[in-house]
Chains A and B, each alone.
Chain A
Amino acid sequence: MIKVIFFAALREQLGCAGTEVSANNASTVAEVKDALGEKDEDWKNYLANNSLLCAVNHQMVQGDFSVKSGDEVAFFPPVTGG
């Protein structure tokens, strides 16, 4: 399984801090997003937000980045610390 976590506004929009996606259903970050979007229209719409960022195992990546079972994939809005 691929572990998926959400932060900040996205976490609240989805009403979910984390879930899992089968590695059989997704081999890239973009495919993880597609698999999550199948849950319902709300998830599909919120995850379609172009400004969302993604990290795999704590490293910032783009949508074509490959993922495998055991990876931690995080989706979140642009950061606003400091």
Chain B
Amino acid sequence: MIDTVINKHAEISIQAEDFDHGFEVNLLENDNVEDGAVVTFSGRVRNNNLGLKVKGLFLEHYPDMTEKLLAEIIETAKKRWNIGRVKVIHRIGQLAIGEQIVFVGVTSKHRQDAFAANEFIMDFLKVKAPFWKKELTELGETWLEAKTSDKEKAQAWSK
């Protein structure tokens, strides 16, 4: 019964407002006694990039396509690993230093599945989900360039 209620909480949320890390962990854990492992990742805005002082970030996305892509990534992870609950949150809009940007939470019976699936979801979010970051530094505003290392990290899952 409670499971049905919790499943109604969307697995994906794209939002401008901040999220409560503890609340999200509770949602993954509440009435979920089958799963012994809970792995969460959260990404925050750091104050430096490529040797420059960062003052803030602006996050843009492609509404609807973002949700579709993230759902596909989660489905792929569910086929590959034995995982229970999944939650992905990504913020958009103007973000200040230290603010949370992204959250990925995964539960599983044993830790290996949750660890791997969490990293997999994050790696593919990075290279597939249509989000773009614009950085505000001491030199002005710049759209960030995609990193080859992120592409290689995602490709490594198919080896």
Chain A residues packing against B (C-beta within 8 Å) = 5, 7-9, 12, 55, 58, 74, 76-82
Contacts and interface: CB of A to CB of B under 8 A. Distances in A.
Given A8-B60, A58-B64, A74-B65, A82 B131 contact: yes
A9 B122 contact: no
Contacts, number: 65
A82 B101 contact: yes
Interface in B96-117: 101-102
A9 B58 CA distance: 12
A81 B61 contact: yes
Interface residues of B, number: 26
B37 interface: no
Interface centre among A74, A78, A81 (most CB of B within 10 A): A81
Q: Which 8 A-B pairs have the closest CB atoms?
A: A81-B131, A78-B146, A8-B132, A58-B65, A9-B143, A82-B126, A80-B144, A80-B133
A78 to B, nearest CB: 3
Contacts of A80: 131-133, 143-146
Interface of B: 43, 59-62, 64-65, 68, 90, 101-102, 122, 125-134, 143-146
Contacts of B131: 79-82
8 contacts: A58-B62, A76-B132, A77-B132, A77-B143, A79-B130, A80-B131, A81-B102, A82-B129
A73 to B, nearest CB: 12
Nearest to B104: A82
A47 to B, nearest CB: 16
